[in-house]
């Protein structure tokens, strides 16, 4: 018997909702989305709505084009030398990351 939160599989109910069509979202405001519980995501949703209404996108073509994009190489934390980060100001690394690396080196 598979139990989740004290319920058996037959008792678990999922509520699924479809995402509205872009034409239904054209007049939605950021405040309306915030009232619905989207929070900080509201401004991003509004900007995507504006992009999609200004220039319709073929979703399948978009995702197929993503497959052809190179994946950026991100260095691992172990490969970053904190002394080099201090001396080389051309590298744009967040100051919090640099300070964390420095603290770890001192420990």
Please check whether residue 65 lies inside any domain of the structure.
no
**Do 50 and 96 reside in the same domain of the chain?**
no
DSSP string covering the chain, please? Answer: --EETTEEGGG------PPPPHHHHTT--HHHHHHTT-GGGHHHHHHHHHHHHHS---HHHHHHHHHTSPPPP---GGG--HHHHHH-TTS---HHHHHHHHHHHH-
Instruction: Provide the domain limits for residue 97.
Output: 79-106
**Do 19 and 50 reside in the same domain of the chain?**
yes
Task: Tell me the pLDDT tens digit for each residue of 61-95.
Answer: 777 777 777 776 666 665 666 655 555 544 454 55
Task: Tell me the pLDDT tens digit for each residue of 18-39.
Answer: 778 888 888 999 999 999 999 9
How many domains does the chain divide into? Answer: 2
**Do 10 and 50 reside in the same domain of the chain?**
yes
Q: What is the reported pTM?
A: 0.41
């Amino acid at each position: 018997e598979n139990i989740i939160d004290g319920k058996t599989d037959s008792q678990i109910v999922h509520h699924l909702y479809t995402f509205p069509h872009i034409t239904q979202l054209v007049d939605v405001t950021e405040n309306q989305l915030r009232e619905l519980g989207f929070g900080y995501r509201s401004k991003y949703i509004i900007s995507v709505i504006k992009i999609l209404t200004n220039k319709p996108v073929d979703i399948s073509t978009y995702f197929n084009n993503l497959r052809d994009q190179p994946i950026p190489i991100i260095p691992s934390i172990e490969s970053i030398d904190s002394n080099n980060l201090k001396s080389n100001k051309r590298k744009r690394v967040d100051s919090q990351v640099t300070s964390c690396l420095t603290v770890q080196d001192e420990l």
